[in-house]
Structure 1
Amino acid sequence: MTLLRLRRPLAAMVITTVIATVVATVLATVVATVSAAVPAAAAQGTSAGGTTYHVAPWGRDSADGRSAATAYRHIQRCADVMTPGDTCLIQSGTYEETVVPARSGAAGLPITYRAAPGARVTVSGAKRIRGWSPVTGQDLARIAQSDPYAPGSPFAQAVRDGHVYSARADLGRDVTTVQTFTDKRMNVEAQWPYPGLDLLEPAVRYAGPGSAEATVADDALTRPAGYWNGARVTTNYWYITATSTIKSSDVGSVVLDVAPPCVHKVIPKDTRYALTGKIGELAHPGTWFYDPAGKRLYLYSEDDPDRHVVEAKARTLAFDLRNASHTTIAGVGLFASTVETGPGSSHVVIDGITGTYLSHYTDITRGATDCGSTVTRGVADTGIVLNGTDNKVVNSDLSLSAGNGIALRGMRNTATNNVIHDVDYLGTYAAGVAVQGNSQTVTHNTIYRVGRSGVNLQWDNAAGGTPGPDRIAYNDISQYARLSLDVAAVYTCCGSDMLGTSIDHNVLHDPAPRWGATKFGVTGVYADNGQSNITIAANVGWGNPEGTVMLNGLGGGSHNNGVYNNTGGMTMFYVKEPGNSTGTKVYNNIGPIRGLDGATNGGMVLSNNLPADVDPLFVDPAGRDYRLSEASPARNQAIPLPGVNDGSTDPLPSLGAYQYGAPKWVAGATR
């Protein structure tokens, strides 16, 4: 509840007395109501592990914080005073701050930040923008002094129609980090083509005939010569998304200051592109343009923006835990901000978070200088970032991030039982869960609508300690590859010994790629460019053009992998060279296997896989029930692999991901 501030008249002491009485009554009512909702132990200012402090929108930081009646106003005030074992109980409201703990908890005595029972708490990284006024013809004439193309642009027509407003806003000098919202929904930067407001389903244009090197040719580029000079361009080809600047432009073409990385040229009919940074394109609902020199934000709106809640991102972190350990955050919401731990953090638990618009950026020039996984902008530092050791994100709903939902760095960190969706809306090597470091665990998550991968698994021994395998298991991943190709629900690259990492019991289905000329590589689990020593077992996939599993033996070969009991087929991509697939075993799988010529030439061993022309007689393949029926020829046919295909009620294990007679295993979050 928010109390209105009442201005005291300069005269009339009687009115002053009445107001004071009313305010006191309201405050007493609020305090009584809240106190009744707080458990008795918390109301007394103590918990089993230590002192309970309270925070509320009606609180005062000068209070003692020991009860709802004497709550602090800011969560940071809790962070300043709490010691190991203490709890900060947060009442309903929006808190616009970055919380930086003054100290860590201890083993068995964590410091806890928790939403009060039944409370709806949001820690916001946004600030409200007020004072909007319509953009007029005079404003347009002033804008034309620096942008002579503005008067003849779609923006000018929108001004004449009364749909453009502006307000003073200091959002910094870097436009690529500006993010604005209307009524909690993200607006999009003015661009061509207008993408619409669904970040994972944008309208797109492809480079046309005549495109080459650093030139995008397209008959739809009808703006005058010079119009696009200095604009920013985002290009995407196959698996590379990058940004650069327009050096020169003419009707029908633009020239980039540098050719796209890796492919080193624009590919006609297959390079997707978008142009931003020109006020002339501010002509569609939900779009904005920011002038950093004039510190002015422009917004296309059907009515007065002051009738809505218009906000801009002002802070990156809701909780800065880079110097904290043994700390728990439970039940709070995040808006336009995220949480990050540090290399020395341990035993941080993030539980029951609802996070929206976790991270935002549009400049992916940094890191985009080479091919493949080295295009790393946003991979390690976006979404909920868990660095350090033995930290967890559990039971959370995370959505809407330019980069990751979760980034696991360091060692022995965990992402379990989370729902992650609508992330990686730039289509880079970010993911629902980006796994770096080593010895990480990603289990029982539901991940869907992602720009590239559900899980992007990149080996990194820089975490320190003794490296160990990762476990990626029991996840349900769908609608991947929405903005990129040569990708998978679970993708891993390149040329690493994965020390026995296991990718098992995942359900990987229904990718949603935009097909250009290239259709290579969309699969369930994809070990790309020489990944070795991985177990890929008991995964189920459907709708994947390359099948449930794909091994790419380029880059020195792919060795010592175990591909066991998967359902949905697979593709092998190897050159015909002796020794490039030694030690790899492909056993007990159901579904067609393509590309075996080069793979078996290199030493791969296949055994007990159901021939592609034999119907496995699933229970209900149309209903996606891939268990084996009583009459299935896949029963009693598998090589026994302890820990992989245990559980069949037959004398021998079954082929495929489900053992006959065993309880059906279930993937995905249960929250």
Structure 2
Amino acid sequence: MPIPSPSPRSRRVLGLAGTALAASALVAGTAVPAGAAAPPGLRLTSGTTYHVSADAAQGGDGLSVQSAFSSIQACADVAGPGDTCLIETGRYEETVTPAQSGTSGSPVTFQAAPDADVVVSGTEVLSGFTPVDQTQLAGVIATDPFAADSLFSDAVAAGKAYSVAVDLGDAGGEAQIFTDGSMDIEASFPFPGTDLLDPVIERADAGTANATIVDSTLTRPAGYWDGARALTSYWYVTATGSVASSSPGSVTLTTAPPCVHKVEPTETWFRLSGKIGELGHPGSYFYDADAKRLYVYSDDDPAGHTIEAKVRDLAFDLSAASHIRVEGIGLFGATIRTGDTSTGVVLDGIDGRYLSHYWDVTQGATDCGANVTRGVTTSGIIIKGTGNTVQNSHLQYSAGNGISLGGYGNTAIDNVITDVDYAGTYAAAVAVQGHSQTVTHNTMARMGRSGINLQWNGVAGTTAGPDRIAYNDISGHATLSVDTAAIYSCCSAYMEGTRVDHNVLHDPTPRPGGVYPFGISGIYADNGMSDMQIDNNVGWGNHEGTVELNGLGTGSHDNLVYNNTGGMTLFYVKEPGQSTGTKIYNNIGPITGLAGATDGGLELSNNLVDVDPLFVDAAAHDYRLQASSPARGAAIPLPGVNDGSTDAVPSLGAFQYGAAPWTAGARP
């Protein structure tokens, strides 16, 4: 049976909410609205069911649909342990902060009503756009003379430039604008298009450590780009800075991009923004932070469209709450956050779009790592504390993470996460910090860097434990970065026996050109990661194979790499002591760096490296073994790792001969 390619489910809140009442009853202690039948054998708690309707008049007591609360917060102000806020169809522009926590047997539940389409939004709808006329254009030109002969002036002449007065803060490049539910792009060169994970890019012709980017497509007159924002990206580093001076064919930044010495200058791709003259493409906007005015390019009157601006980050602030359930709720332009003391929070059936947004990634003078961490712990669905769960959810679009797991003992299971990390930092579909986290049965596709960014951090007052990363289907990684993996971990951490197993890791999509496709693998233990068990994973299309070990730093010690299919790469594991205790057994596929690898202390045994394993149908990614496969009966028996073969001796690779094939990804 072939391993399925990722097929992101377009799961809508409508479809989830229709079964929300039944789903809530599957967890003991969940409040059940009056009249709902209790499934046999489950202990349920009683509580009050309050009603919320966006169409309700203010002042209702929430005790019936006819007297419903008009906001979710009004219900959150009164709901206590065992109570349910049952929410009718509507758009709710608010941040919901519960006044009380629930208890382990009696949570506070926020739940979409049957068949309701509920969206909690971080945006506000804008109105009052007017065409930019010649008088207004003259005012813009007085501030920026380069706007006189530009894409923007052409748009004004064509009647396609509109504006409205609005205060969106002081960071113009951080504004987020939507038209009819899709994110607009800041006016820039080159205009990247509206596919956030497949942007049009421009690679520099040349560049030097003195911060000058040379490129023949820079045809604007001298001074045009002075003061503009510059996004630069190369290898694994994304950074934003500003332009000090410009002339046709080049721009010089105020600070040289960090790490540029590590790669050829022509590996750099760049984007310049912050100039109204570039406003000339459908789906683009320019926000003048000084004048507090938003400009949009539109082929027709904006009054015929829904144009929104992000004005708040959180849909639910659970940072001081525990034992809260949020079920069947949609998020738009906002996210959910728990806190360091939160426990027992369950987010079930969340349909989240545009969870977090940012573009600016501050440049450091020389430190490569300073430019890759924005959003790693502060974006996406942010889970802190312990014993919290995100499940059965569809999360799409985020500058940073889909889910951030901090604290310890938290779970992400059966989620579909796509189109995240469009800012190109070390964020991921699921960013794992802390310890003892569980990430299983998720489907992840189209990420700027990695599907799972696996780190390890101790949590004060707790005993460290291993993470479990299993049965995930990850594809479309490395869209905006290289030297990464579907599951990436770094640097010089002792991982307490963390197990990474039964994942399907395939089809990365790095940008053409440059160092493409350097360092892209299925699982990458980079720069001295130790005490990990990596077993029964399958990969294809990864340049460095399914597994990559890099012993730089403290060395790659005590890693157990068993029964993986798809090959591997060994970096810096050959010097004495660099890989003591690491065992590489029972794998199928080529191993780059094999020569001399045991000199560092690692053990290599029973790997099928250069012999055809005779898979059932490798072209269709069916990596089960044919009856005549040389991988049958050739493995070192490892209880709990390669059980299940119908042969007396286990098979090499991720599928045991005769056993039912395992599958990965979110389950229906």
Fold match (TM-score > 0.5):
yes
Preserved contact between residue 379 and residue 429 of structure 1 (Cα < 8 Å): yes
Q: Any gaps of 5 or more consecutive residues in structure 1?
A: 1-36
User: Given residue 335 of structure 1, which amino acid in structure 2 is its aligned partner?
Assistant: F
Instruction: Give the match for residue 233 of structure 2.
Output: 236
Instruction: Give the match for residue 169 of structure 1.
Output: 166
Give the RMSD, CA atoms, in angstroms: 1.9
Preserved contact between residue 88 and residue 118 of structure 2 (Cα < 8 Å): yes
Q: Percent identity?
A: 61
Distance 2:460 2:354 in 1: 28
- CA pair 391-141 structure 1, distance change in 2 beyond 3 A: same
Structure 1 residue 103 displacement after superposition: 1.1
The answer to whether residue 566 in structure 2 is matched with residue 565 in structure 1 is no
Structure 1 residue 127 displacement after superposition: 0.2
Instruction: Give the match for residue 357 of structure 1.
Output: 354
The answer to whether residue 492 in structure 2 is matched with residue 498 in structure 1 is no
Instruction: Give the match for residue 278 of structure 1.
Output: 275
Task: Report Cα offsets for 1:215-252 as digits up to 9, x if no partner.
Answer: 11001100111111111111111000111111111111
Distance 1:598 1:464 in 2: 43
Query: Using CA pairs below 8 Å that are at least 6 residues apart, which structure has the higher relative contact order?
Result: 2
- CA pair 642-422 structure 1, distance change in 2 beyond 3 A: same
Secondary structure of 1:145's counterpart equals: helix
Instruction: Give the match for residue 146 of structure 1.
Output: 143
Preserved contact between residue 52 and residue 71 of structure 2 (Cα < 8 Å): yes
Structure 1 residue 460 displacement after superposition: 1.3
Instruction: Give the match for residue 545 of structure 1.
Output: 543
Preserved contact between residue 61 and residue 72 of structure 1 (Cα < 8 Å): yes
Preserved contact between residue 258 and residue 363 of structure 2 (Cα < 8 Å): no
Structure 1 residue 372 displacement after superposition: 4.2
Preserved contact between residue 222 and residue 252 of structure 1 (Cα < 8 Å): yes
Instruction: Give the match for residue 556 of structure 1.
Output: 554
Distance 1:442 1:369 in 2: 34
User: Given residue 403 of structure 2, which amino acid in structure 1 is its aligned partner?
Assistant: I
Identify the match of residue 314 of structure 2 among 295, 314, 317. 317
Distance 2:560 2:303 in 1: 60
Instruction: Give the match for residue 412 of structure 2.
Output: 415
Distance 1:600 1:156 in 2: 66
Distance 2:664 2:112 in 1: 29
The answer to whether residue 103 in structure 2 is matched with residue 106 in structure 1 is yes
Instruction: Give the match for residue 25 of structure 2.
Output: none
Distance 2:36 2:174 in 1: 42
Structure 1 residue 427 displacement after superposition: 1.1
Distance 2:262 2:131 in 1: 43
Secondary structure of 2:616's counterpart equals: strand
Instruction: Give the match for residue 483 of structure 2.
Output: 486
Instruction: Give the match for residue 532 of structure 2.
Output: 534
Distance 1:127 1:90 in 2: 20
Task: Report Cα offsets for 1:137-189 as digits up to 9, x if no partner.
Answer: 11111111110110011111111111100011111112232100000000000
Secondary structure of 2:598's counterpart equals: helix
Q: Which runs of 4+ in 1 moved over 4 A?
A: 37-41, 43-48, 366-369
The answer to whether residue 396 in structure 2 is matched with residue 403 in structure 1 is no
- CA pair 44-611 structure 1, distance change in 2 beyond 3 A: closer
Instruction: Give the match for residue 175 of structure 2.
Output: 178
Where does 1:285-364 land on structure 2 (aligned, <5 Å)? Answer: 285-364=282-361
- CA pair 429-244 structure 1, distance change in 2 beyond 3 A: same
Preserved contact between residue 373 and residue 494 of structure 1 (Cα < 8 Å): no
Instruction: Give the match for residue 469 of structure 2.
Output: 472
- CA pair 265-535 structure 1, distance change in 2 beyond 3 A: closer
- CA pair 366-436 structure 1, distance change in 2 beyond 3 A: farther
TM-score normalised over the length of structure 1: 0.92
Instruction: Give the match for residue 457 of structure 1.
Output: 454
Identify the match of residue 605 of structure 1 among 581, 603, 607. 603
Structure 1 residue 43 displacement after superposition: 5.8
The answer to whether residue 443 in structure 2 is matched with residue 442 in structure 1 is no
Instruction: Give the match for residue 24 of structure 1.
Output: none
User: Given residue 511 of structure 1, which amino acid in structure 2 is its aligned partner?
Assistant: P
Structure 1 residue 525 displacement after superposition: 0.3
Structure 1 residue 600 displacement after superposition: 1.6
Q: Any gaps of 5 or more consecutive residues in structure 2?
A: 1-19, 23-30, 38-43
Task: Report Cα offsets for 1:241-264 as digits up to 9, x if no partner.
Answer: 111111111111111111112335
Distance 1:290 1:133 in 2: 15
Preserved contact between residue 21 and residue 36 of structure 2 (Cα < 8 Å): no
Secondary structure of 1:81's counterpart equals: coil
Task: Identify the range of structure 1 (59-68 vs 275-284) with the bigger mean alpha-carbon deviation.
Answer: 59-68
Instruction: Give the match for residue 66 of structure 2.
Output: 69
- CA pair 575-538 structure 1, distance change in 2 beyond 3 A: closer
- CA pair 173-448 structure 1, distance change in 2 beyond 3 A: same
Distance 2:70 2:632 in 1: 64
Structure 1 residue 209 displacement after superposition: 2.9
The answer to whether residue 206 in structure 2 is matched with residue 209 in structure 1 is yes
User: Given residue 180 of structure 2, which amino acid in structure 1 is its aligned partner?
Assistant: D
The answer to whether residue 126 in structure 2 is matched with residue 129 in structure 1 is yes
Corresponding pairs, count: 634
Secondary structure of 2:206's counterpart equals: coil
- CA pair 368-375 structure 1, distance change in 2 beyond 3 A: farther
Instruction: Give the match for residue 193 of structure 1.
Output: 190
- CA pair 517-38 structure 1, distance change in 2 beyond 3 A: closer
User: Given residue 344 of structure 1, which amino acid in structure 2 is its aligned partner?
Assistant: T
Distance 2:499 2:363 in 1: 32
Secondary structure of 2:148's counterpart equals: helix
Distance 1:223 1:376 in 2: 33
Preserved contact between residue 173 and residue 274 of structure 2 (Cα < 8 Å): no
Task: Identify the range of structure 1 (409-418 vs 507-516) with the bigger mean alpha-carbon deviation.
Answer: 507-516
TM-score normalised over the length of structure 2: 0.92
Secondary structure of 1:615's counterpart equals: coil
Identify the match of residue 579 of structure 1 among 577, 580, 588. 577
User: Given residue 307 of structure 1, which amino acid in structure 2 is its aligned partner?
Assistant: G
The answer to whether residue 82 in structure 2 is matched with residue 85 in structure 1 is yes
Distance 2:437 2:571 in 1: 28
Where does 1:375-414 land on structure 2 (aligned, <5 Å)? Answer: 375-414=372-411
Distance 2:133 2:416 in 1: 45
- CA pair 345-446 structure 1, distance change in 2 beyond 3 A: same
The answer to whether residue 448 in structure 2 is matched with residue 427 in structure 1 is no
User: Given residue 163 of structure 2, which amino acid in structure 1 is its aligned partner?
Assistant: S
Structure 1 residue 67 displacement after superposition: 1.2
Identify the match of residue 635 of structure 1 among 632, 637, 642. 632
Distance 1:544 1:214 in 2: 33
Distance 1:267 1:296 in 2: 40
Task: Report Cα offsets for 1:310-331 as digits up to 9, x if no partner.
Answer: 0000110000000000000000
- CA pair 531-349 structure 1, distance change in 2 beyond 3 A: same
- CA pair 250-598 structure 1, distance change in 2 beyond 3 A: farther
Task: Report Cα offsets for 1:610-637 as digits up to 9, x if no partner.
Answer: 131x111111111110011111110101
Instruction: Give the match for residue 155 of structure 1.
Output: 152
Structure 1 residue 210 displacement after superposition: 5.1
Preserved contact between residue 212 and residue 267 of structure 1 (Cα < 8 Å): no
Secondary structure of 2:430's counterpart equals: strand
Task: Report Cα offsets for 1:75-132 as digits up to 9, x if no partner.
Answer: 0011100110100000011101000111100111100000001111000111011001
Secondary structure of 1:68's counterpart equals: coil
User: Given residue 591 of structure 1, which amino acid in structure 2 is its aligned partner?
Assistant: G
Preserved contact between residue 625 and residue 655 of structure 2 (Cα < 8 Å): yes
Secondary structure of 1:586's counterpart equals: strand
